[in-house]
Structure 1
Amino acid sequence: MSKIIIVGIMALMFLSCNSNTKKSNLSAQNDTISKQDQSKLEASIIRGKNVYDDMCVTCHMPNGKGVPKAFPPLAGSDYLRENQTQSIKAVKYGMSGEILVNGITYNSTMSPLGLSDEEVADVMNYINNSWGNTIENFVTVEKVSEL
């Protein structure tokens, strides 16, 4: 009876050590942000929603679709997806002049909002992860301050 238990324990150890699931989970973790960074991102998104609701919602609307021909959409925005650095600078410093968003030209002025680097990072993380946007760019305070 004790031999059966020992063989059973050894078999379980062997199977658990050589699990393909375990290996694939490890490689998947390497391709994504760490759990610690994920929790930081989630907290940033929550703070960013507050900033958006206070400072951005008037022009870009609660659904992120903007105002046609006046204020560009953030939801599904090719400009946002392809121009992250310029988008961060726009939030931090304001923006004027023509931009092309989803095939439509916008020529409005976005005044500087007076946000801290942390608020800029938070609102960018919120926008990058809202309304169907899945822009994998964890904006940190350090990234914002470098601009």
Structure 2
Amino acid sequence: MKFIFLFCFLLLQAFIFNITQDPILEESIKRGSDIYSDFCVTCHLPNGEGVDGEYPPLAKSDFLMKNRVQSIMTIKYGAEGEIIVNGKTFNNTMAPLGLADDEIADVMNYITNSWGNENDKMITEEEVSKIKK
């Protein structure tokens, strides 16, 4: 009987945590959308598809979803050199955007939850602040 009670209690806690987490993530995604429109849309386009051979896609991006830390580092510090995204090679430069850690978290939450990407682990300002060059 105690086991069933404990199980139900833990299940309820997990449910409550997920409910309270969603509005926080939704607000982050909303802010990230605005940041994307200001800083990213020129190269990666409104639909996140990028420019073939020039700027990698963010839509349904295997690189973005499998390389969380490197993706954050790219936004935070910029990047140069070759990467492979969805089987295609891109070799270009991305300058650092000058965003604060909270803004990087927000734009990462937006792009990792848009255009066919699904991220079940929210990116936080604290996580971004711990990532060093």
TM range (shorter): 0.7 to 0.9
Q: Deviations over 1:58-86 (max 9, x none)?
A: 00000000000000000000000100100
TM superposition score normalised by structure 2: 0.87
1:98 aligns with 2:82: yes
* Structure 1 segment 7-86 matched on structure 2, within 5 A: 23=8, 27=11, 30=14, 34-86=18-70
Evaluate the alpha carbon distance shift between residue 29 and residue 56 of structure 1 in structure 2; reply closer, same or farther with a 3 A threshold: farther
CA drift at 1:146: 0.4
Partner of 1:131: 115
Q: Which structure has more RCO (C-alpha within 8 Å, separation ≥ 6)?
A: 2
Structure 1 length-normalised TM? 0.79
Cα deviation for residue 135 of structure 1 reads: 1.9
The equivalent of 1:8 in structure 2 is none
Amino acid corresponding to residue 129 of structure 2 in structure 1: S
Structure-2 change in CA distance of 1:106 and 1:29 (3 Å): farther
Helix, strand or coil: the match of 2:38?
helix
Residue matched to 1:121: 105
Considering only CA atoms, is the larger Rg found in Structure 1 or Structure 2? 1
Segments of 5+ residues of structure 1 without an aligned counterpart are: 1-17
* Cα RMSD, aligned residues only: 2.2
Count the aligned residue pairs: 126
